[in-house]
């Protein structure tokens, strides 16, 4: 299942092991990629606020999630999640592929 969007076409569907490289482009974040990222790329982040991730999950499931400037930020290189761990976890929990922007920092 893929979350609904308004006139935003992702440039690539992410699968485990794939690192998005286009700055500010919209990617389709899959539950599989998000699970992989939480395990392998989310190593230098603060403790996770599960309540926020659950709120995001419910928004995604209801189709209320929108593509905005706020997406996922990855360090480069080495690659780590530096912003967006709650959004990534929400996609994994929802089991829905969600389009979001990705930016290297």
Q: For the chain, what are the domain ranges? A: 22-104
Query: Among residues 35, 28, 33, which one has the least CA distance to residue 98?
Result: 28
Burial class from Cβ neighbours inside 10 Å (0-12, 13-18, 19+) for residue 29 reads: buried
At 1-24, the pLDDT tens digits run: 555 555 566 678 888 988 887 778
What pTM was computed for the model? 0.86
Residue 56 host element (H or E):
helix 50-61
What is the topology classification, in CATH, of domain 22-104? 3.90.1530
What average pLDDT does range 56-68 have in this prediction? 93
């Amino acid at each position: 299942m893929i979350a609904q969007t308004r006139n935003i076409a992702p440039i690539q569907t992410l699968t485990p092991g794939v690192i998005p490289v286009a700055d500010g482009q919209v990617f389709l974040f899959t539950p599989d990629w998000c699970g992989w990222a939480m395990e392998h790329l989310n190593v230098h982040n603060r403790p996770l606020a599960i309540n926020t991730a659950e709120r995001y999950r419910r928004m995604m499931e209801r189709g209320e999630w929108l593509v905005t400037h706020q997406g996922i930020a990855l360090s480069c290189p080495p690659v780590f999640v530096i912003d967006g761990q709650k959004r990534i976890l929400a996609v994994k929990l929802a089991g829905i592929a969600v389009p979001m922007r990705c930016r290297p920092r």
